[in-house]
Structure 1
Amino acid sequence: MTRSKEFDEREVLLKAMYLFWEKGYEKTSLQDLVTHMGIHRRSLYDTFGDKHSLFVKTLELYEKHKTATIQAEVIRGRSAKQAIRFIFDLLIEVNDDRPLGCLFVNSATELALRDPEVREITNEGFNNGEKVLLDIIQKGQQSGEIPIDKDAKLLAAFLQTTLIGLRVLVRTSTDKKKLHQIADISIAMLDA
Protein backbone atom coordinates (compact mmCIF):
# COMPACT_ATOMS: atom_id res chain seq x y z
CA MET A 1 0.00 0.00 0.00
CA THR A 2 1.46 3.33 -1.04
CA ARG A 3 1.50 6.27 1.31
CA SER A 4 -0.07 9.53 0.26
CA LYS A 5 2.23 12.48 -0.10
CA GLU A 6 2.33 14.79 2.87
CA PHE A 7 3.47 17.77 0.83
CA ASP A 8 2.41 19.87 -2.13
CA GLU A 9 4.57 18.80 -5.05
CA ARG A 10 4.53 22.20 -6.77
CA GLU A 11 5.34 24.00 -3.53
CA VAL A 12 8.41 21.89 -2.78
CA LEU A 13 9.47 22.06 -6.44
CA LEU A 14 9.34 25.86 -6.20
CA LYS A 15 11.53 25.69 -3.11
CA ALA A 16 14.05 23.55 -4.99
CA MET A 17 13.93 25.94 -7.95
CA TYR A 18 14.75 28.94 -5.78
CA LEU A 19 17.58 27.08 -4.08
CA PHE A 20 19.15 26.02 -7.40
CA TRP A 21 18.64 29.58 -8.67
CA GLU A 22 20.43 31.04 -5.67
CA LYS A 23 23.27 28.53 -5.24
CA GLY A 24 23.61 26.85 -8.63
CA TYR A 25 23.44 23.16 -9.40
CA GLU A 26 26.94 22.17 -8.31
CA LYS A 27 26.85 23.99 -4.96
CA THR A 28 23.44 22.64 -3.99
CA SER A 29 23.80 19.38 -2.10
CA LEU A 30 21.12 16.77 -1.60
CA GLN A 31 21.09 17.69 2.08
CA ASP A 32 20.54 21.34 1.14
CA LEU A 33 17.57 20.28 -0.98
CA VAL A 34 16.05 18.02 1.67
CA THR A 35 16.38 20.73 4.32
CA HIS A 36 15.14 23.58 2.11
CA MET A 37 12.27 21.60 0.59
CA GLY A 38 11.21 20.26 3.98
CA ILE A 39 10.83 16.67 2.78
CA HIS A 40 12.62 13.41 3.45
CA ARG A 41 15.36 12.22 1.13
CA ARG A 42 13.28 9.16 0.20
CA SER A 43 10.34 11.41 -0.74
CA LEU A 44 12.64 13.48 -2.93
CA TYR A 45 13.81 10.38 -4.79
CA ASP A 46 10.34 8.84 -5.03
CA THR A 47 8.72 12.03 -6.31
CA PHE A 48 11.40 13.73 -8.40
CA GLY A 49 14.09 11.11 -9.05
CA ASP A 50 17.72 12.03 -8.57
CA LYS A 51 19.21 15.52 -8.14
CA HIS A 52 19.62 16.02 -11.88
CA SER A 53 16.02 14.99 -12.62
CA LEU A 54 14.83 17.39 -9.93
CA PHE A 55 16.96 20.15 -11.43
CA VAL A 56 15.49 19.55 -14.90
CA LYS A 57 11.97 19.73 -13.41
CA THR A 58 12.84 23.07 -11.79
CA LEU A 59 14.07 24.42 -15.15
CA GLU A 60 10.80 23.35 -16.77
CA LEU A 61 8.80 24.98 -13.98
CA TYR A 62 10.87 28.17 -14.31
CA GLU A 63 10.14 28.34 -18.04
CA LYS A 64 6.39 27.93 -17.49
CA HIS A 65 6.37 30.53 -14.73
CA LYS A 66 8.50 33.03 -16.67
CA THR A 67 6.48 32.70 -19.87
CA ALA A 68 3.13 32.93 -18.07
CA THR A 69 4.22 36.00 -16.10
CA ILE A 70 5.49 37.86 -19.15
CA GLN A 71 2.58 36.92 -21.39
CA ALA A 72 -0.01 37.82 -18.77
CA GLU A 73 1.54 41.23 -18.21
CA VAL A 74 2.26 41.98 -21.86
CA ILE A 75 -1.33 41.48 -22.93
CA ARG A 76 -2.65 43.98 -20.38
CA GLY A 77 -3.23 46.66 -23.00
CA ARG A 78 0.37 47.77 -23.22
CA SER A 79 1.82 49.14 -26.41
CA ALA A 80 4.77 47.25 -27.87
CA LYS A 81 7.35 49.59 -26.35
CA GLN A 82 5.56 49.57 -23.00
CA ALA A 83 5.58 45.77 -23.07
CA ILE A 84 9.31 45.68 -23.81
CA ARG A 85 9.92 48.27 -21.10
CA PHE A 86 7.94 46.07 -18.70
CA ILE A 87 10.19 43.09 -19.50
CA PHE A 88 13.33 45.16 -18.84
CA ASP A 89 11.89 46.60 -15.62
CA LEU A 90 10.79 43.16 -14.42
CA LEU A 91 14.38 42.04 -14.75
CA ILE A 92 16.03 45.12 -13.23
CA GLU A 93 13.60 45.94 -10.41
CA VAL A 94 13.56 42.73 -8.39
CA ASN A 95 11.61 43.67 -5.26
CA ASP A 96 10.75 40.29 -3.84
CA ASP A 97 12.54 37.26 -2.46
CA ARG A 98 13.58 35.91 -5.86
CA PRO A 99 17.28 35.37 -6.38
CA LEU A 100 18.91 37.88 -8.68
CA GLY A 101 19.47 37.18 -12.34
CA CYS A 102 17.96 34.32 -14.28
CA LEU A 103 17.93 30.61 -13.56
CA PHE A 104 18.44 29.86 -17.27
CA VAL A 105 21.44 32.16 -17.63
CA ASN A 106 22.97 30.83 -14.42
CA SER A 107 22.37 27.23 -15.48
CA ALA A 108 23.61 27.75 -19.04
CA THR A 109 26.86 29.32 -17.88
CA GLU A 110 27.36 26.65 -15.22
CA LEU A 111 26.34 23.48 -17.05
CA ALA A 112 25.39 23.85 -20.72
CA LEU A 113 28.84 23.00 -22.08
CA ARG A 114 28.84 19.59 -20.41
CA ASP A 115 25.16 18.78 -19.93
CA PRO A 116 23.22 18.40 -23.21
CA GLU A 117 19.85 18.27 -21.45
CA VAL A 118 20.45 21.57 -19.64
CA ARG A 119 21.80 23.09 -22.87
CA GLU A 120 18.64 22.04 -24.73
CA ILE A 121 16.27 23.37 -22.04
CA THR A 122 18.09 26.69 -21.61
CA ASN A 123 18.40 27.21 -25.38
CA GLU A 124 14.69 26.52 -25.73
CA GLY A 125 14.00 29.04 -22.97
CA PHE A 126 16.17 31.68 -24.67
CA ASN A 127 14.44 30.97 -28.00
CA ASN A 128 11.01 31.27 -26.38
CA GLY A 129 12.02 34.63 -24.90
CA GLU A 130 13.15 35.79 -28.31
CA LYS A 131 9.84 34.63 -29.84
CA VAL A 132 7.91 36.68 -27.28
CA LEU A 133 9.97 39.73 -28.20
CA LEU A 134 9.46 39.03 -31.91
CA ASP A 135 5.69 38.87 -31.42
CA ILE A 136 5.72 42.16 -29.52
CA ILE A 137 7.86 43.87 -32.16
CA GLN A 138 5.69 42.59 -35.01
CA LYS A 139 2.55 43.84 -33.24
CA GLY A 140 4.31 47.19 -32.79
CA GLN A 141 5.07 47.25 -36.51
CA GLN A 142 1.45 46.44 -37.38
CA SER A 143 0.24 49.27 -35.16
CA GLY A 144 2.79 51.72 -36.59
CA GLU A 145 4.61 52.12 -33.28
CA ILE A 146 7.80 50.50 -34.62
CA PRO A 147 9.00 51.24 -38.16
CA ILE A 148 8.00 48.47 -40.56
CA ASP A 149 11.33 48.63 -42.40
CA LYS A 150 13.16 47.26 -39.35
CA ASP A 151 14.09 43.58 -39.33
CA ALA A 152 11.87 42.31 -36.51
CA LYS A 153 13.85 39.08 -36.08
CA LEU A 154 17.13 40.96 -35.78
CA LEU A 155 15.61 43.43 -33.29
CA ALA A 156 14.23 40.55 -31.20
CA ALA A 157 17.64 38.83 -31.22
CA PHE A 158 19.33 42.09 -30.21
CA LEU A 159 16.89 42.71 -27.34
CA GLN A 160 17.15 39.10 -26.14
CA THR A 161 20.95 39.29 -26.14
CA THR A 162 20.78 42.53 -24.18
CA LEU A 163 18.36 40.98 -21.69
CA ILE A 164 20.66 37.99 -21.21
CA GLY A 165 23.57 40.35 -20.54
CA LEU A 166 21.48 42.33 -18.07
CA ARG A 167 20.55 39.13 -16.27
CA VAL A 168 24.26 38.64 -15.59
CA LEU A 169 24.80 42.28 -14.61
CA VAL A 170 21.84 42.24 -12.21
CA ARG A 171 23.70 39.61 -10.17
CA THR A 172 26.89 41.67 -10.02
CA SER A 173 25.77 45.29 -10.03
CA THR A 174 23.58 47.34 -7.77
CA ASP A 175 23.75 50.31 -10.13
CA LYS A 176 20.17 50.18 -11.35
CA LYS A 177 20.53 53.57 -13.00
CA LYS A 178 23.12 52.12 -15.36
CA LEU A 179 20.95 49.08 -16.06
CA HIS A 180 17.97 51.32 -16.88
CA GLN A 181 20.16 53.39 -19.20
CA ILE A 182 21.10 50.21 -21.06
CA ALA A 183 17.40 49.37 -21.31
CA ASP A 184 16.63 52.89 -22.60
CA ILE A 185 19.26 52.62 -25.33
CA SER A 186 18.03 49.17 -26.28
CA ILE A 187 14.43 50.34 -26.60
CA ALA A 188 15.56 53.40 -28.57
CA MET A 189 17.05 50.99 -31.12
CA LEU A 190 13.50 50.13 -32.12
CA ASP A 191 13.26 53.59 -33.72
CA ALA A 192 16.86 54.04 -34.89
Structure 2
Amino acid sequence: MARNVEFDEAAAIQKAMEVFWKKGYNATSLRDLTDAMKINSSSLYNTIGDKQELFVRCVQHYTDIRKEDWDKRLSSERSPLAILKDYIHEAVNIIINCEDSCMAVKSAFEVATNDERVKKILAADDQRSYQFLHNLIKKAMDKGEIRDDEDPALLADYFNSIWTGWYESFILHGDPIKIKRMAEYFIKQLTK
Protein backbone atom coordinates (compact mmCIF):
# COMPACT_ATOMS: atom_id res chain seq x y z
CA MET A 1 0.00 0.00 0.00
CA ALA A 2 1.36 3.41 -0.98
CA ARG A 3 2.06 5.84 1.82
CA ASN A 4 0.26 9.21 1.74
CA VAL A 5 2.64 12.12 1.46
CA GLU A 6 1.82 14.70 4.09
CA PHE A 7 3.60 18.00 4.34
CA ASP A 8 2.73 21.66 4.33
CA GLU A 9 3.06 22.44 0.64
CA ALA A 10 2.91 26.23 1.10
CA ALA A 11 5.72 26.11 3.67
CA ALA A 12 7.72 23.79 1.42
CA ILE A 13 7.32 26.17 -1.55
CA GLN A 14 8.49 29.05 0.67
CA LYS A 15 11.60 27.08 1.72
CA ALA A 16 12.37 26.08 -1.87
CA MET A 17 11.91 29.68 -2.99
CA GLU A 18 14.49 30.80 -0.43
CA VAL A 19 17.00 28.25 -1.77
CA PHE A 20 16.44 29.26 -5.41
CA TRP A 21 16.59 32.93 -4.41
CA LYS A 22 19.94 32.49 -2.69
CA LYS A 23 21.65 30.08 -5.08
CA GLY A 24 19.88 30.67 -8.39
CA TYR A 25 18.22 28.01 -10.50
CA ASN A 26 21.32 26.45 -12.06
CA ALA A 27 23.35 26.21 -8.83
CA THR A 28 20.50 24.68 -6.84
CA SER A 29 20.54 20.90 -6.63
CA LEU A 30 17.58 18.64 -6.02
CA ARG A 31 19.24 17.71 -2.73
CA ASP A 32 19.40 21.39 -1.71
CA LEU A 33 15.67 21.63 -2.31
CA THR A 34 14.58 18.46 -0.60
CA ASP A 35 16.79 19.20 2.41
CA ALA A 36 15.28 22.69 2.77
CA MET A 37 11.74 21.42 2.22
CA LYS A 38 12.34 18.47 4.59
CA ILE A 39 10.91 15.96 2.12
CA ASN A 40 12.41 13.22 0.00
CA SER A 41 12.76 13.43 -3.76
CA SER A 42 9.93 10.99 -4.45
CA SER A 43 7.56 13.19 -2.40
CA LEU A 44 8.66 16.18 -4.44
CA TYR A 45 8.05 14.40 -7.74
CA ASN A 46 4.72 12.96 -6.59
CA THR A 47 3.29 16.24 -5.30
CA ILE A 48 4.89 19.09 -7.21
CA GLY A 49 6.89 17.63 -10.06
CA ASP A 50 10.47 18.16 -11.11
CA LYS A 51 12.92 20.94 -10.26
CA GLN A 52 11.68 23.11 -13.14
CA GLU A 53 8.05 22.84 -12.04
CA LEU A 54 9.05 23.66 -8.48
CA PHE A 55 10.98 26.70 -9.70
CA VAL A 56 7.98 27.97 -11.66
CA ARG A 57 5.83 27.61 -8.54
CA CYS A 58 8.47 29.43 -6.46
CA VAL A 59 8.68 32.35 -8.90
CA GLN A 60 4.88 32.60 -8.87
CA HIS A 61 4.93 32.56 -5.06
CA TYR A 62 7.56 35.31 -4.98
CA THR A 63 5.58 37.53 -7.36
CA ASP A 64 2.38 36.92 -5.37
CA ILE A 65 4.15 38.22 -2.25
CA ARG A 66 5.25 41.32 -4.15
CA LYS A 67 1.69 41.94 -5.39
CA GLU A 68 0.34 41.76 -1.83
CA ASP A 69 2.95 44.30 -0.74
CA TRP A 70 2.09 46.70 -3.58
CA ASP A 71 -1.64 46.39 -2.90
CA LYS A 72 -1.08 47.13 0.78
CA ARG A 73 1.01 50.20 -0.01
CA LEU A 74 -1.56 51.52 -2.49
CA SER A 75 -4.40 51.16 0.01
CA SER A 76 -2.51 53.15 2.65
CA GLU A 77 -3.84 56.52 3.76
CA ARG A 78 -0.30 57.93 3.84
CA SER A 79 0.97 60.50 1.39
CA PRO A 80 1.60 58.89 -2.02
CA LEU A 81 4.94 60.67 -2.27
CA ALA A 82 5.97 59.40 1.18
CA ILE A 83 5.01 55.85 0.14
CA LEU A 84 7.02 56.24 -3.07
CA LYS A 85 10.06 57.61 -1.23
CA ASP A 86 9.88 54.77 1.29
CA TYR A 87 9.62 52.27 -1.55
CA ILE A 88 12.68 53.75 -3.28
CA HIS A 89 14.68 53.78 -0.05
CA GLU A 90 13.67 50.19 0.69
CA ALA A 91 14.76 49.16 -2.82
CA VAL A 92 18.14 50.79 -2.21
CA ASN A 93 18.43 49.10 1.19
CA ILE A 94 17.68 45.71 -0.36
CA ILE A 95 20.21 46.25 -3.14
CA ILE A 96 23.06 47.29 -0.86
CA ASN A 97 22.34 45.20 2.26
CA CYS A 98 20.67 41.99 1.15
CA GLU A 99 22.99 39.48 -0.43
CA ASP A 100 20.21 37.92 -2.47
CA SER A 101 18.46 41.17 -3.55
CA CYS A 102 15.60 40.63 -6.00
CA MET A 103 14.57 37.13 -7.07
CA ALA A 104 12.61 38.53 -10.04
CA VAL A 105 15.68 40.27 -11.47
CA LYS A 106 17.89 37.23 -10.87
CA SER A 107 15.34 34.90 -12.47
CA ALA A 108 14.79 37.18 -15.45
CA PHE A 109 18.44 37.00 -16.42
CA GLU A 110 19.09 33.38 -15.48
CA VAL A 111 15.93 31.54 -16.53
CA ALA A 112 13.31 33.69 -18.29
CA THR A 113 15.24 33.85 -21.54
CA ASN A 114 14.81 30.08 -21.94
CA ASP A 115 11.56 29.35 -20.10
CA GLU A 116 8.33 30.83 -21.41
CA ARG A 117 6.39 30.09 -18.21
CA VAL A 118 8.89 31.96 -16.03
CA LYS A 119 9.02 34.77 -18.59
CA LYS A 120 5.23 35.06 -18.53
CA ILE A 121 5.11 35.19 -14.71
CA LEU A 122 7.85 37.82 -14.59
CA ALA A 123 6.24 39.87 -17.37
CA ALA A 124 2.99 39.93 -15.37
CA ASP A 125 4.97 40.92 -12.27
CA ASP A 126 6.68 43.70 -14.20
CA GLN A 127 3.29 44.96 -15.39
CA ARG A 128 1.97 44.95 -11.80
CA SER A 129 5.09 46.82 -10.67
CA TYR A 130 4.53 49.37 -13.42
CA GLN A 131 0.85 49.74 -12.45
CA PHE A 132 1.76 50.16 -8.77
CA LEU A 133 4.27 52.89 -9.56
CA HIS A 134 1.99 54.56 -12.10
CA ASN A 135 -0.91 54.67 -9.62
CA LEU A 136 1.30 55.98 -6.84
CA ILE A 137 2.87 58.67 -9.02
CA LYS A 138 -0.54 59.71 -10.39
CA LYS A 139 -1.94 59.97 -6.84
CA ALA A 140 1.06 62.09 -5.83
CA MET A 141 0.47 64.35 -8.84
CA ASP A 142 -3.23 64.70 -8.03
CA LYS A 143 -2.28 65.78 -4.50
CA GLY A 144 0.29 68.28 -5.78
CA GLU A 145 3.23 66.33 -4.33
CA ILE A 146 4.81 65.78 -7.75
CA ARG A 147 4.75 68.19 -10.69
CA ASP A 148 1.77 67.46 -12.88
CA ASP A 149 3.67 68.24 -16.09
CA GLU A 150 5.40 64.85 -15.84
CA ASP A 151 4.10 61.69 -17.51
CA PRO A 152 3.29 59.09 -14.81
CA ALA A 153 3.59 56.26 -17.34
CA LEU A 154 7.09 57.34 -18.34
CA LEU A 155 8.16 57.82 -14.72
CA ALA A 156 6.86 54.35 -13.78
CA ASP A 157 8.68 52.74 -16.71
CA TYR A 158 11.80 54.75 -15.94
CA PHE A 159 11.87 53.71 -12.29
CA ASN A 160 11.30 50.05 -13.17
CA SER A 161 14.30 50.24 -15.49
CA ILE A 162 16.66 52.22 -13.31
CA TRP A 163 16.18 50.16 -10.20
CA THR A 164 17.35 47.10 -12.16
CA GLY A 165 20.33 49.19 -13.24
CA TRP A 166 21.09 50.06 -9.61
CA TYR A 167 21.10 46.34 -8.82
CA GLU A 168 23.55 45.64 -11.65
CA SER A 169 25.73 48.59 -10.67
CA PHE A 170 25.98 47.36 -7.10
CA ILE A 171 26.88 43.84 -8.22
CA LEU A 172 29.67 45.20 -10.42
CA HIS A 173 31.01 48.03 -8.24
CA GLY A 174 29.81 47.35 -4.69
CA ASP A 175 29.46 51.09 -4.06
CA PRO A 176 26.50 51.82 -1.75
CA ILE A 177 27.08 55.60 -1.89
CA LYS A 178 26.67 55.55 -5.66
CA ILE A 179 23.32 53.72 -5.39
CA LYS A 180 22.06 56.06 -2.66
CA ARG A 181 23.05 59.12 -4.68
CA MET A 182 21.23 57.83 -7.78
CA ALA A 183 18.11 57.20 -5.69
CA GLU A 184 18.22 60.67 -4.17
CA TYR A 185 18.70 62.18 -7.62
CA PHE A 186 15.63 60.32 -8.88
CA ILE A 187 13.56 61.55 -5.93
CA LYS A 188 14.85 65.10 -6.48
CA GLN A 189 13.83 64.96 -10.14
CA LEU A 190 10.33 63.86 -9.15
CA THR A 191 9.81 66.66 -6.67
CA LYS A 192 11.45 69.73 -8.20
Q: TM-score per shorter chain, which class?
A: 0.7 to 0.9
Percent sequence identity over matched residues? 31
Helix, strand or coil: the match of 1:190? helix
Contact 1:79 1:140 in 2 (8 A): yes
- The TM-score normalised by the length of structure 2 is 0.88
CA drift at 1:130:
0.9
Partner of 1:142: 142
Q: Matches of 2:26 and 2:8 in 1, distance apart?
A: 25
Aligned ranges 1:39-188 → 2 under 5 Å: 39-94=39-94, 99-171=99-171, 174-188=174-188
**Runs of 5+ unmatched residues, structure 1:** none
CA drift at 1:44:
1.0
Q: Matches of 1:146 and 1:47 in 2, distance apart?
A: 50
Contact 1:21 1:99 in 2 (8 A): no
CA deviation profile, 1:45-80 (whole Å, cap 9, x unmatched): 122111111111111110111121233245433322
Q: Matches of 2:6 and 2:90 in 1, distance apart?
A: 34
Q: 1:58 to 1:171 in 2, by over 3 A?
A: farther
Contact 2:59 2:121 in 1 (8 A): yes
Q: Matches of 2:54 and 2:146 in 1, distance apart?
A: 42
Number of equivalent positions: 191
Q: 1:2 to 1:142 in 2, by over 3 A?
A: farther
Helix, strand or coil: the match of 1:45? helix
CA deviation profile, 1:17-55 (whole Å, cap 9, x unmatched): 111111111111111111121111111112211111111
CA drift at 1:184:
1.0
CA drift at 1:121:
1.4
**Runs of 5+ unmatched residues, structure 2:** none
Q: Matches of 1:20 and 1:81 in 2, distance apart?
A: 34
CA drift at 1:191:
3.3
CA drift at 1:143:
0.9
